[in-house]
Amino acid sequence: MNTTTTAGNDTPSTTSTQGRDELIAKAKDSVTEATQTAVDAVKANPKTAAAIAAGAVAAVAGVAYGATKLAAKSDDKGTKKTTSTKK
């Protein structure tokens, strides 16, 4: 198996197909384990999980709303007509 190390990183990075397959298998195992842990946590505390999910949705909605308002303001800057108050 061919390995190389990058500057500042003591962990070898694999360049062979076998090494990549091993990394993918480890990643799949990690994702599966994390998913199972999340499912178990939701089963143990469904109300808490629902509250966290609702909070996350509200946060994303707030960011989306703010972004659209900012985008609308920047679009309006070039199209608004200004009126002079000089007499």
pLDDT by 10-residue block (mean), the chain, 87 residues: 53 71 94 95 95 96 94 71 57
Residues 6 or more apart from 2 whose CB is under 8 A from it? 14, 15, 16, 19
Tell me if residue 9 falls in helix, strand or coil.
Answer: coil
> Where on the phi/psi map is residue 8: left (φ > 0), alpha (ψ -120 to 50), or beta?
left
pLDDT score at 1: 47
State which H helix or E strand residue 71 sits in.
Answer: helix 46-76
Output the six-digit token pair for 34. 């994390």
Q: What residue ranges do the domains of the chain occupy? A: 13-67
User: What is the Cα gyration radius of the chain?
Assistant: 26
pLDDT score at 61: 97
Distance from C-alpha of 37 to C-alpha of 49, rounded to nearest angstrom: 13
pLDDT score at 49: 95
